[in-house]
Amino acid sequence: MKELKKLVVVAVAGAFYYLSLFVNDWVWGETEFSFDVHWVFFPSGIRFILVLLALESGAVGIALGGILWNFQDHPDLGWEFCLATGAIAGLSPWLARKLSVQFLGLDHEFKFVSPQTLLKISLLFATLSALLHQLWFYSQGLTENFASSFAVMALSNWCGTLLVLLTFKMLIHRSQDRV
């Protein structure tokens, strides 16, 4: 039963992440700064929530959703690109979570987190993801200016994460007001 639950979490996380990529592409479309660098990337916030709450199962779901999205969005770049990019999408928030527990004092079960700690963690998540993605894109010849693409991607990841967190906060407050 426990394995079935994990598979369901992986499937839901993958579908949710894939859908967030679809919506982000629909909203921001052709406004990329450079290869796969959007001005606001709210799927980063979805990754943040999924990994904080669903741990490894969330990371695996993100990776699978990312692989599927990249194969659909960049079929000309091949399976290796899709697999590596999807793996980075799932690995980077998982690694940032591990680093947050070790170095920022994040409660392993995520029960007690202050708004300040949440901001620090979200900045680490956004920056680490941008760094790993841009290193990969640069190694593949897809990014001409590593520094500027990294900076814009880190900022867009962080803005997207903050948008998702604020949306969740608003939804929680709204649901509490109804009770």
Q: What is the mean pLDDT of the chain?
A: 89
Phi, psi at 19, each rounded to 5°: -60, -40
**Residues 6+ away with beta carbon under 8 Å from 48:** 93, 121, 122, 125, 161, 164, 165
Q: How confident is the model at residue 110 (pLDDT cuts 50, 70, 90)?
A: low
Given a cut of 80, is residue 44 above it in pLDDT?
A: yes
pLDDT over 70 percentage in the chain: 96
Q: What is the pLDDT of residue 33?
A: 82
Two structure tokens written together for 10: 């992986």
Looking at the chain, list the stretches that DSSP marks H as alpha helix, in order from N- to C-terminal side.
Answer: 2-28, 43-73, 78-103, 115-139, 146-178
Asked whether the CA dihedral 171, 4, 20, 127 is positive or negative, the reply is: positive
* pLDDT tens-digit map of 60-73: 999 999 999 999 98
Phi, psi at 40, each rounded to 5°: -135, 130
Given a cut of 90, is residue 106 above it in pLDDT?
A: no
Q: What is the pTM of this model?
A: 0.89
**Domains of the chain with CATH codes:** 2-178 (1.10.1760)
> Looking at residue 39, what DSSP letter applies?
S
**Residues 6+ away with beta carbon under 8 Å from 74:** 81, 82
Rg of the chain, C-alpha, whole Å: 16
